[in-house]
A and B are shown apart, each in its own frame.
Chain A
Amino acid sequence: MAENGANGTNGQGYVGTRTIRPDGVDKVTGRARFGADFNLPGQLIGRVLRSPHPHARIVSIDTSKAEALPGVKAVVTRDDFADQPSEFIPAGEMMMNYKDVVRNVIAREKALYEGHAVAAVAATTTAVARRAVKLIDVQYEVLPHVIDVVEAMRPDAPVLHDDLFTIGVEPKPDKPSNIAKRVEITLGDVDAGFKKADVIVEREFKTAPVHQGYIEPHAALASVSEDGSAELWCCTQGHFIVRAHCARLLGMDIAKVRVTASEIGGGFGGKTVVYLEPLAIALSRKAKRPVKMVMSREEVFKASGPTSGATVRVKMGATKDGKFVAGFAELKYQAGAFQGSPVQPGVMCAYAPYDIENVKVIGYDVVSNRPKVAAYRAPGAPISEFAVESVVDEIAKKLGLDPIDLRMMNAAREGTKAAYGPKFGPLGLEETLNSIKKTEHWNTPLRKWQGRGVASGFWFNIGGETCASLTINEDGTVSLVAGTPDIGGLRASLTNVAADELGIPYDKVRPIIGDTGSLGFTFLTGGSRSAFSGSMAIVEAAKQIKAELCARACKLWEAKPDQVEFKDGHVRPLGALAEKVKPMSIADFAKIAGKTGGPIGGYGRINAQGAGPSLGTHLVDLEVDPETGRVTILRYTVAQDAGKALHPAYVEGQFQGGAVQGIGWALNEEYIYGADGKLQNAGFLDYRMPVASDVPMIDAILVEVANPKHPYGVRGVGETPIVPPLGAIANAMEQATGIRFTELPMSPPKVLKALKEHGVA
């Protein structure tokens, strides 16, 4: 049996084309159902009582008045959730501990941040639920709080967890602290490296916590049957993960929890954990009715994970001809109320774009009285790489070198030893730098108060457990089922692959995201894995179908396996057999499926390996208004290595979306706390995210350095584009103003203050 298919050699050649998105019509007509669009007959409305204090011991919770209110059907508190042992598990793109997860879902001994869930009610109407929440009497013993990461590390800081002892230090501490972990990577001898340096730059940077800012708030609808089985509809990046967490926290068999992922209005890492979902199931189980819960925007800000704010110190050395000889960094990342910041990937990514012999990076994971951080696009990497990219730019200026040439000279390439150990395979950083340098953008003149910045970025990418199925329907059309929610074009990308592999028209494949009962365990959409690993699962499923069709043809034609091949959507007879029988299409086999062995389908069940890193380079022009401090982005170009773009429009969309989020992170977004430890800007009016009118059209340059471990050469693309903007914008600000900005966001008040201090306003 001969077989074609992988590498796009078969079929219609849809891979790499801009096919129409299968979910497009429903999204533009409003038919698509997001989390809050699901409803069931007889459903109740759930509401959460949240802590008004950033740090308080919970002395008592009296729910009797709430439960007595007519219309209230259930109230849950910490007493409805069994405690969990200390056990680390991956949660999206970071680690979490079930002991902490259960406490984050609903506070036990202490409330650890303003907005921490303390109790939840289910009632017949929203109004009754709101009244009931107010009737719950919680007695708190208010404790001193700490918000800032550096203050939280001080020996005299209020300690959040009495059982948190720093790991990764010797000798082992005998007192608890807010420093959960110290991590370190070392390559070569950094002290010896600095001795070889002709120029050394050392700077300290500070970044603010920023929220993922997805437009759709968290929402969940749970229905628990009298037999104890549960159905859940929610907006999530991973419904199999939600199923696992809920089953664990509620003491249920996994098989008894069925989760359906809604369409998702953005996640960016923030919907890889559970908040409302276990509460909704617990309330439904108690009330014996469906329970729907939707967060307000204020709740999203106060009680769902932003990413870390951080303090970073970077020291780099280079020879006078521009060769980097040493890189040191110390990272202090906020984890929020529970340990588990993305400091480890921050440590590993800091110098990953470059070939440096001597590197040492130290990181600290620090808890404070803020909501627990969640993953956010390339978790941890934008922070550390912002600091390094700023210093790289400063070295270029000190040496009088072109910043792109300097990066090119030191770029990691195939065979470069990463600071975290292994040698890289094929990489596309040089190609992105070359692409940027060739743009008309790079050579356009600038005016006064305008600046141009460039920065590069790295992210590892991952694979992981993935299932996908292809089923041939009775008419020869194909049903595609994937297990990862479609956030950035998964359905179109996988359909391109399926159509090519099976040699059938794109519009004959209908993709859906299956619920947890329809496929085997599939890890979530995150880490830039879903198109990478999903397409590998589709290739595997198609391979099974092609083998089955060839086998059936052999039986029909009484032929041997080497007398048939699958090509262009048909099983074709070879040699002398071709004179006797005609090729059969997939539709031909579908018509006689019952008579030839039954339904035909393929099921890809893989643990995808071989994810290739993606590197990118960004170029930005901006203008500073010296009277107001306002920064306007004038022009922006992204060049990034996609390996192979399965669907170029979606890949470009990832580049553009990441750049816009990075612009917000660099210029305006921040959590602002008062002295009382309460968040002061929990809404989009005061938490300033970029809107369409804030940004220009972002040019996207697709670089394709094939990943040899993927049948089409694919690399994940969703994480990397948020990494370079912070550094690129800071570098452009330096050119525009002559001031090196080291603290994010570079918001108008800060810019104006700096201009005045430096006498340039």
Chain B
Amino acid sequence: MPRVVLVGNLAQLTGGVAEFHLSATSVQQLFQQLAELHPAIEPHLKEGVAVAIDGQIYQDTLFQPIAADSEVFLLPQIAGGTGTLNESRPGQRGGR
């Protein structure tokens, strides 16, 4: 199962748990499984976080595959400049 690590403040939404082993095979499944385990993180996943899979940062890619031996990092959201842009269509994002 891929190893999933929450970076920065995101772990505050999971009771301090920063590392998971989940059966997700895509970013979409990863978000669903995390949200089921820790509902408090769901709005933030919808607002957008960047996902680094085996060192490569992806943005806005729900269908990106995750391999069973992948190392996945969820990074704090930063628009634009960092490869951690998550929602590039203004007006679509949900409220805080």
Contacts and interface: CB of A to CB of B under 8 A. Distances in A.
Interface string A455-474: 00001111111000000000
A609 B73 contact: no
Nearest to A96: B79
Given A420-B7, A421-B5, A607-B60, A344 B78 contact: yes
Nearest to B74: A421
A87 interface: yes
Contact of B80 (A88, A93, A167, A607): A93
B95 A85 contact: yes
Contact of A609 (B59, B75, B82, B86): B59
Given A90-B90, A184-B9, A379-B81, A464 B59 contact: yes
Contacts of A342: 81
Interface of chain B, main secondary structure: loop
Interface in A327-379: 342, 344-345, 347-348, 375, 378-379
B96 A88 contact: yes
A421 B12 CA distance: 16
Interface stretch (A241-249, A396-404, A430-438, A748-756): A241-249
Interface string B21-44: 000000000000000000000000
Interface in A391-427: 420-425
B3 to A, nearest CB: 11
A443 B61 CA distance: 48
Contacts of A529: 80
A610 interface: yes
A90 B8 contact: no
A184 B60 contact: no
A87 B43 CA distance: 12
Interface stretch (A18-26, A445-453, A520-528, A668-676): A520-528
A86 interface: yes
Nearest to A521: B89
A170 interface: yes
Contacts of A422: 52, 54-57, 71, 73, 75
Contacts of B55: 422-425
Nearest to A461: B83
A533 to B, nearest CB: 11
Size class of the A contact interface (CB-based, 8 Å): 35 or more
B55 to A, nearest CB: 4
A611 interface: yes
B94 A527 contact: no
A168 interface: yes
B42 to A, nearest CB: 15
Given A86-B96, A609-B59, A244 B78 contact: no
A478 B27 CA distance: 38
A282 interface: no
A61 interface: no
A248 B88 CA distance: 15
A95 interface: yes
Interface in A702-724: 709, 719
A345 B60 contact: no
B16 to A, nearest CB: 10
27 contacts: A87-B96, A89-B87, A90-B85, A90-B87, A93-B81, A97-B96, A168-B9, A183-B8, A183-B76, A244-B91, A347-B8, A375-B81, A420-B7, A420-B73, A422-B52, A422-B57, A422-B75, A423-B54, A459-B81, A460-B82, A463-B83, A526-B80, A526-B81, A529-B80, A607-B59, A607-B61, A609-B61
Given A95-B78, A422-B56, 11 more contacts: A94-B80, A94-B81, A182-B9, A420-B75, A422-B55, A422-B75, A460-B83, A460-B84, A523-B80, A528-B81, A610-B56
